[in-house]
Amino acid sequence: MAMSTPQDVHVLWHCAELASSEHALVQVRGASMSAEGVAALVLDDQPCDVSYRVDVAALTASCIADVRTPAGSRRIELSNRNGSWTVDGEDAPHLAGCTEVDLGWTPATNTTAIRRLGLQVGQQGTARVAWLRFPELVVEAADQRYTRLADDRWRFESDGFQAEIEADPATGIVRAYGVDLWRAVAWSAIDVDEEIPPRAEP
Protein backbone atom coordinates (compact mmCIF):
# COMPACT_ATOMS: atom_id res chain seq x y z
CA MET A 1 0.00 0.00 0.00
CA ALA A 2 1.61 3.25 -1.10
CA MET A 3 0.51 6.85 -1.08
CA SER A 4 1.23 9.50 -3.69
CA THR A 5 0.88 12.28 -1.10
CA PRO A 6 2.81 12.12 2.21
CA GLN A 7 0.59 12.76 5.20
CA ASP A 8 0.78 13.51 8.91
CA VAL A 9 -2.27 12.04 10.63
CA HIS A 10 -3.20 12.96 14.21
CA VAL A 11 -5.55 10.48 15.88
CA LEU A 12 -7.23 10.33 19.28
CA TRP A 13 -8.14 6.76 20.17
CA HIS A 14 -10.26 5.53 23.08
CA CYS A 15 -10.16 1.90 24.23
CA ALA A 16 -12.90 0.65 26.56
CA GLU A 17 -11.13 -2.58 27.51
CA LEU A 18 -7.91 -0.86 28.58
CA ALA A 19 -9.67 2.25 29.93
CA SER A 20 -7.26 4.21 27.77
CA SER A 21 -7.06 7.34 25.68
CA GLU A 22 -4.22 7.98 23.26
CA HIS A 23 -3.07 10.82 21.06
CA ALA A 24 -0.85 9.61 18.22
CA LEU A 25 0.85 11.19 15.24
CA VAL A 26 1.31 8.79 12.33
CA GLN A 27 3.58 10.02 9.54
CA VAL A 28 3.27 8.15 6.25
CA ARG A 29 5.93 8.50 3.56
CA GLY A 30 5.55 5.84 0.86
CA ALA A 31 7.00 2.58 2.22
CA SER A 32 8.26 4.28 5.39
CA MET A 33 6.19 5.18 8.43
CA SER A 34 6.68 6.72 11.84
CA ALA A 35 4.20 6.63 14.72
CA GLU A 36 4.55 8.38 18.04
CA GLY A 37 2.02 8.80 20.79
CA VAL A 38 1.12 8.99 24.43
CA ALA A 39 -1.45 6.66 26.00
CA ALA A 40 -2.97 7.14 29.45
CA LEU A 41 -4.23 3.86 30.89
CA VAL A 42 -4.10 1.44 33.84
CA LEU A 43 -1.23 -0.92 34.64
CA ASP A 44 -1.50 -3.27 37.63
CA ASP A 45 -4.37 -1.17 39.02
CA GLN A 46 -2.16 1.93 38.96
CA PRO A 47 -2.32 5.07 36.81
CA CYS A 48 0.09 4.75 33.91
CA ASP A 49 1.19 6.60 30.81
CA VAL A 50 3.16 5.20 27.90
CA SER A 51 5.01 7.35 25.38
CA TYR A 52 6.46 5.67 22.33
CA ARG A 53 7.91 6.12 18.88
CA VAL A 54 8.10 3.50 16.13
CA ASP A 55 9.99 3.98 12.85
CA VAL A 56 9.75 1.45 10.03
CA ALA A 57 11.28 1.26 6.55
CA ALA A 58 11.94 -1.52 4.05
CA LEU A 59 14.50 -3.51 6.09
CA THR A 60 14.56 -1.75 9.43
CA ALA A 61 12.35 -1.11 12.44
CA SER A 62 12.96 0.59 15.75
CA CYS A 63 10.90 1.42 18.80
CA ILE A 64 11.40 3.22 22.09
CA ALA A 65 8.64 3.02 24.72
CA ASP A 66 8.69 4.72 28.11
CA VAL A 67 6.25 3.30 30.67
CA ARG A 68 5.61 5.44 33.76
CA THR A 69 3.65 4.53 36.90
CA PRO A 70 3.73 5.83 40.52
CA ALA A 71 6.20 3.01 41.26
CA GLY A 72 8.71 4.20 38.69
CA SER A 73 9.58 4.23 35.01
CA ARG A 74 10.81 1.68 32.53
CA ARG A 75 12.22 2.13 29.03
CA ILE A 76 11.93 -0.64 26.42
CA GLU A 77 13.90 -0.48 23.17
CA LEU A 78 13.47 -2.71 20.12
CA SER A 79 15.58 -2.61 16.98
CA ASN A 80 15.69 -4.59 13.74
CA ARG A 81 18.53 -4.09 11.29
CA ASN A 82 18.25 -6.33 8.24
CA GLY A 83 16.66 -9.13 10.27
CA SER A 84 18.87 -8.89 13.38
CA TRP A 85 16.74 -7.92 16.39
CA THR A 86 17.79 -6.54 19.73
CA VAL A 87 15.73 -5.87 22.87
CA ASP A 88 17.21 -3.29 25.22
CA GLY A 89 20.50 -3.62 23.37
CA GLU A 90 20.72 -7.41 23.76
CA ASP A 91 20.51 -9.83 20.83
CA ALA A 92 17.02 -11.34 20.51
CA PRO A 93 17.25 -14.48 18.33
CA HIS A 94 13.71 -15.47 19.32
CA LEU A 95 12.51 -12.61 17.08
CA ALA A 96 14.14 -14.01 13.93
CA GLY A 97 11.85 -13.65 10.95
CA CYS A 98 9.85 -10.76 12.41
CA THR A 99 9.35 -7.81 10.08
CA GLU A 100 7.15 -5.53 12.20
CA VAL A 101 6.79 -4.16 15.72
CA ASP A 102 3.40 -4.57 17.41
CA LEU A 103 2.70 -2.62 20.60
CA GLY A 104 -0.07 -4.13 22.71
CA TRP A 105 -1.56 -0.86 23.99
CA THR A 106 -2.12 0.87 20.63
CA PRO A 107 -3.63 0.16 17.19
CA ALA A 108 -1.00 2.44 15.60
CA THR A 109 1.27 -0.50 14.81
CA ASN A 110 -1.42 -2.47 12.96
CA THR A 111 -0.91 0.09 10.22
CA THR A 112 2.60 -1.12 9.38
CA ALA A 113 1.39 -4.67 8.66
CA ILE A 114 -1.66 -3.46 6.71
CA ARG A 115 0.56 -1.28 4.54
CA ARG A 116 3.35 -3.82 4.10
CA LEU A 117 1.00 -6.64 3.08
CA GLY A 118 -0.79 -4.44 0.52
CA LEU A 119 -3.74 -6.83 0.21
CA GLN A 120 -6.53 -6.51 -2.32
CA VAL A 121 -10.12 -7.22 -1.26
CA GLY A 122 -10.50 -10.98 -0.74
CA GLN A 123 -6.77 -11.61 -0.20
CA GLN A 124 -5.09 -12.64 3.03
CA GLY A 125 -1.53 -12.55 4.28
CA THR A 126 0.55 -13.19 7.40
CA ALA A 127 2.90 -10.83 9.21
CA ARG A 128 5.41 -12.09 11.77
CA VAL A 129 5.79 -9.42 14.43
CA ALA A 130 7.87 -8.58 17.48
CA TRP A 131 4.94 -8.21 19.87
CA LEU A 132 5.44 -6.09 22.98
CA ARG A 133 2.65 -7.50 25.10
CA PHE A 134 0.62 -5.33 27.45
CA PRO A 135 0.32 -5.41 30.44
CA GLU A 136 3.06 -8.05 30.66
CA LEU A 137 5.66 -5.83 28.92
CA VAL A 138 7.47 -8.83 27.45
CA VAL A 139 8.50 -9.18 23.81
CA GLU A 140 7.71 -12.30 21.83
CA ALA A 141 7.30 -13.34 18.22
CA ALA A 142 3.75 -13.73 16.92
CA ASP A 143 2.16 -14.59 13.59
CA GLN A 144 -0.75 -12.35 12.66
CA ARG A 145 -3.09 -12.98 9.75
CA TYR A 146 -4.89 -10.21 7.93
CA THR A 147 -7.76 -10.73 5.48
CA ARG A 148 -9.02 -7.75 3.50
CA LEU A 149 -12.81 -7.91 3.65
CA ALA A 150 -13.63 -4.62 1.92
CA ASP A 151 -11.93 -1.42 0.82
CA ASP A 152 -11.80 -0.15 4.42
CA ARG A 153 -12.09 -3.38 6.49
CA TRP A 154 -9.67 -6.16 7.49
CA ARG A 155 -10.07 -9.25 9.67
CA PHE A 156 -7.20 -9.70 12.15
CA GLU A 157 -6.37 -13.15 13.61
CA SER A 158 -3.61 -14.23 15.99
CA ASP A 159 -3.33 -17.11 18.46
CA GLY A 160 -7.09 -17.71 18.62
CA PHE A 161 -7.99 -14.01 18.84
CA GLN A 162 -10.01 -12.41 16.07
CA ALA A 163 -11.24 -8.88 15.45
CA GLU A 164 -12.43 -6.75 12.56
CA ILE A 165 -10.46 -3.61 11.81
CA GLU A 166 -11.81 -0.57 10.02
CA ALA A 167 -8.96 1.48 8.56
CA ASP A 168 -8.49 4.42 6.25
CA PRO A 169 -7.97 2.86 2.77
CA ALA A 170 -5.31 5.40 1.74
CA THR A 171 -3.03 5.14 4.78
CA GLY A 172 -4.05 1.95 6.62
CA ILE A 173 -4.48 3.90 9.87
CA VAL A 174 -7.02 2.29 12.19
CA ARG A 175 -10.37 4.00 12.74
CA ALA A 176 -12.05 1.18 14.68
CA TYR A 177 -10.81 -2.12 16.11
CA GLY A 178 -13.12 -4.89 17.32
CA VAL A 179 -16.53 -4.46 18.90
CA ASP A 180 -15.52 -2.40 21.94
CA LEU A 181 -11.77 -1.92 21.66
CA TRP A 182 -10.17 1.09 19.98
CA ARG A 183 -12.18 3.86 18.34
CA ALA A 184 -10.80 6.96 16.63
CA VAL A 185 -12.88 9.74 18.17
CA ALA A 186 -10.93 12.58 16.52
CA TRP A 187 -8.86 12.62 13.32
CA SER A 188 -6.86 15.22 11.40
CA ALA A 189 -4.90 14.46 8.20
CA ILE A 190 -2.45 17.00 6.76
CA ASP A 191 -0.68 16.71 3.40
CA VAL A 192 3.03 17.49 3.76
CA ASP A 193 6.15 17.71 1.61
CA GLU A 194 9.05 17.05 3.97
CA GLU A 195 10.58 13.75 5.02
CA ILE A 196 9.91 12.20 8.45
CA PRO A 197 12.00 14.18 10.99
CA PRO A 198 14.75 12.11 12.63
CA ARG A 199 14.08 10.88 16.15
CA ALA A 200 15.80 12.89 18.83
CA GLU A 201 18.39 10.91 20.73
CA PRO A 202 17.32 10.12 24.33
- Dmax (CA) for the chain in angstroms is 47
For residue 153, what pLDDT is reported? 98
Whole-number percent of the chain with pLDDT over 90: 84
For residues 190 and 8, the answer to whether their CB atoms sit within 8 Å is: yes
Euclidean distance between the first and the last CA atom of the chain, given in angstroms as a whole number: 32
Q: pLDDT tens digit string along 137-158?
A: 999 999 999 999 999 999 999 9
111 secondary structure, DSSP code = H
For residue 193, what pLDDT is reported? 78
Query: 31: pLDDT confidence band, cut at 50, 70 and 90?
Result: confident
Q: Is the pTM of this model over 0.85?
A: yes
